[in-house]
Amino acid sequence: MANVDDRDLAAGRLYGKAILSLAEEQGQSDSLLEELAGLADYLDGNPEFERFLASPLVDEEERGASLERIFRGRASDLLLDSLLVINRKGRLGLVRAIAEGYRLEYRELHGLVDVKVRTAVPLNEPLRARLRETLAGFTGKQPFLIERVDPALIAGLVVEVDGQKLDTSVASRLRDFGAALERRASQEIYRSRTATGE
């Protein structure tokens, strides 16, 4: 999830939902999701552009003309038109929140859920598939795994769905998965020691 405060995200979701509705009608919801993610990534590397979008000192027409020059022919008309409408409303400072709001609304509409997974070693594809299957059964949605390796775990895994760590009843369903991951971690450690001659 992007680094957006709750108040901005609430507004971002309203805009995101309206844009998603239009994108779905035009069959562009998937491609717009990618474009908005790309725009958020661009803002990460170009804070001066983000300040330009948010600045109350920049005239709305001047900013609109700049958006036309920057995006026309390089981005979809839907993205550019959305940015121009948001500019007219004086809300371009929320563009990052709108991108995140769109992503969250898209996931909800399409039955997807973000799942943060911390493991001691990287997941291999068979373990990843088993974890997805188990989580799909638990959540009733298609999980999108956000993986992070944390060697401090030694072995096992930590799973968080929609900001909630899974409780013991769910953890028991994942016990077999955890055991497989522990075996894999042990094998990684053994291989590492063998390779270094320890």
Strand partners, 154: none
Q: Report helix angle 95-109 to 29-45, nearest 10.
A: 150
Q: pLDDT tens, position by position, for the chain (198 residues)?
A: 457 888 999 999 999 999 999 999 999 999 999 999 999 999 999 999 999 999 999 999 999 999 999 999 999 999 999 999 999 999 999 999 999 999 999 999 999 988 888 888 888 898 889 889 988 988 889 998 889 998 887 656 788 887 778 754 455 555 555 566 666 666 666 566 666 665
Q: Where are the alpha helices (DSSP H) in 72-159?
A: 77-88, 95-109, 125-139
- The 3-state DSSP class for residue 28 equals coil
Q: How far apart are CA 96 and CA 43, in angstroms?
A: 8
Q: How far apart are CA 136 and CA 166, in angstroms?
A: 13
Q: Residue 94: is it exposed, middle or buried by C-beta count within 10 angstroms (0-12/13-18/19+)?
A: buried
Sorted by where each starts, the structural domains of the chain and their CATH numbers stand as 6-108 (1.10.520.20), 111-196 (3.40.30)
What is the model's pTM?
0.71
